[in-house]
């Protein structure tokens, strides 16, 4: 959904709006050039049987999902499905711009959860051999996230409406070698083990990227298009997905920055170049320096002189 349209509609009940989601992709998806999701979907039957598994390859890389259903004792149903392991994730936030999580030494396990019970994140844990991790994602930008790694809904325990789908996300060490990684529902001990392929993915090294160049103008007049170019190199021996969010202020319609996500599949020791055209019509109320920032597999900041801000705001 276009973020400006979304916040324009929200403006009927609250003040403010915002920029646009990058790329025109559906909220929280992984863009047009993503690694593949080699999906494994199964259903845990009441008698413990497992349903049929199917593969659903898409994109150009490697990933995996699994779907399981558990029916705990009387009190409601808990469904954990579409489990995915990713070295970096893209997220979208309500009334916010969203972004990328790609911290060094960290990877992410994300799942969709459906339940008619009033559960909190503390009802679940991610286990690997003798270690365990609580749900939660650090360092996100914006308000409540409504999509992480393509799993939509509110964080578990903060649903937007009754019966809405939620997501569950864990940040765990990378790489992580374990014989029995699994998601556990603490309510009755039900567990969803990760498949062999996902165990391999947890244990695999992550790609690492260096920013080689970032080209931006020294100044821009509000309303003009800002052209940006960046080049990054995969300095590891691992093929992987490059993810970075470029942030530009949109102070005239929101107090957060608009994000433009760059996503590419990059071979080991290869580089990637991306160009962006950024709309500056809603940047700020006053002329002066504004900060363009990049977060994700690479990080950077550049101050750019904003000109003609008053004229743009008066005529906007």
In DSSP terms, which residues pair with 270 in a beta bridge? none
In the prediction, which pLDDT does 164 show? 67
- On whether both 51 and 189 belong to a single domain, the answer is yes
In the prediction, which pLDDT does 263 show? 97
- On whether both 287 and 171 belong to a single domain, the answer is no
- On whether both 291 and 223 belong to a single domain, the answer is yes
- Residue 124's nearest CA partner among 84, 167, 176, 63 is 167
- On whether both 235 and 183 belong to a single domain, the answer is no
User: Domain containing 44: what range?
Assistant: 34-203
- On whether both 161 and 291 belong to a single domain, the answer is no
In the prediction, which pLDDT does 4 show? 53
- On whether both 91 and 191 belong to a single domain, the answer is yes
- On whether both 199 and 231 belong to a single domain, the answer is no
- Residue 232's nearest CA partner among 301, 296, 140 is 296
In the prediction, which pLDDT does 310 show? 64
Question: Which tokens hold the place of 95?
Answer: 């009334």
Among 171, 203, 235, the domain boundary falls at 203
- On whether both 185 and 235 belong to a single domain, the answer is no
In the prediction, which pLDDT does 26 show? 37
If DSSP states are collapsed to H, E and C, what string results for the chain?
A: CCHHHHHHHHCCCCCCCCCCCHHHCCCCCCCCCCCCCEEEECCECCCCCECCCCCCCCCCCCCEEEEEEECCCCCCCEEEEEEEEECCEEEEECCCCCEEECCCCEEEEEEEEEECCCCCHHHEEEEECCEEECCECCCCCCCCEEEECCEECEECCCCCCCCCCEEEEEEEECCCCCCCCEEEECCCCCEEECCHHHHHHHHCCCCCEEEEEEECCCEEECCCEEEEEEEEEECCCCCEEEEEEEEEECCCCCCCEEEEEEEEEECCCCEEEEEEEEECCCCCCCCEEEEEEEEECCCEEEEEEEECHHHHHHHC
Number of domains in the chain: 2
Alpha carbon distance 103, 119 (integer Å): 28
**pLDDT profile of the chain (316 residues), mean per 10:** 47 34 38 36 33 31 43 66 96 83 97 90 95 91 87 81 78 97 95 95 98 98 98 97 96 84 97 97 95 97 93 49
Alpha carbon distance 64, 55 (integer Å): 9
- On whether both 170 and 254 belong to a single domain, the answer is no
In the prediction, which pLDDT does 181 show? 97
- On whether both 215 and 196 belong to a single domain, the answer is no
- On whether both 118 and 239 belong to a single domain, the answer is no
Q: Which pTM value belongs to this model? A: 0.78
CB atoms near residue 1 (< 10 Å): 12
- On whether both 217 and 289 belong to a single domain, the answer is yes
């Amino acid at each position: 959904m276009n973020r400006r349209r979304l916040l324009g509609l929200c403006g009927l009940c609250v003040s403010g709006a915002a920029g646009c989601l990058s790329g025109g992709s559906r909220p929280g998806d992984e863009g047009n050039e993503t690694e593949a999701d080699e999906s494994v979907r199964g259903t845990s039957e009441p008698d413990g049987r497992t349903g049929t598994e199917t593969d659903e390859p898409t994109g150009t890389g490697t990933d995996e999902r699994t779907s399981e259903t558990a029916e705990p004792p009387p009190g409601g149903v808990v469904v954990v499905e579409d489990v995915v392991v990713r070295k970096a994730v893209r997220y979208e936030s309500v009334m916010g711009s969203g972004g990328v999580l790609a911290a060094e030494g960290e990877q992410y396990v994300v799942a969709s959860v459906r339940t008619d019970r009033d559960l909190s994140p503390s009802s679940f844990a991610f286990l690997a051999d003798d270690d365990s991790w609580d749900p939660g994602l650090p360092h996100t930008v914006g308000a409540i996230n409504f999509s992480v790694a393509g799993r939509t809904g509110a964080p578990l325990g903060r649903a937007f409406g009754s019966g809405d789908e939620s997501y569950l996300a864990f940040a765990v060490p990378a790489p992580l070698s374990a014989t029995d990684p699994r998601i556990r529902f603490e309510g009755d001990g039900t567990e969803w083990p990760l498949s062999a392929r996902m165990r391999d993915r947890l244990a695999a090294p992550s790609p690492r990227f260096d920013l080689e160049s970032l080209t931006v103008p020294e100044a821009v007049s509000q309303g003009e298009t800002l052209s940006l170019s960046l080049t990054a190199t995969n300095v590891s021996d691992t093929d992987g997905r490059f993810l970075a969010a470029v942030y530009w202020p949109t102070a005239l319609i929101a107090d957060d920055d608009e994000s433009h996500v760059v996503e590419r599949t990059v071979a080991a020791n290869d580089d990637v170049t991306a160009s962006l055209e950024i709309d500056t019509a809603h940047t700020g109320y006053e002329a002066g320096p504004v900060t363009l920032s990049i977060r994700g597999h690479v990080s950077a900041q550049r101050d750019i002189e904003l000109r003609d801000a008053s004229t743009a705001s008066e005529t906007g």
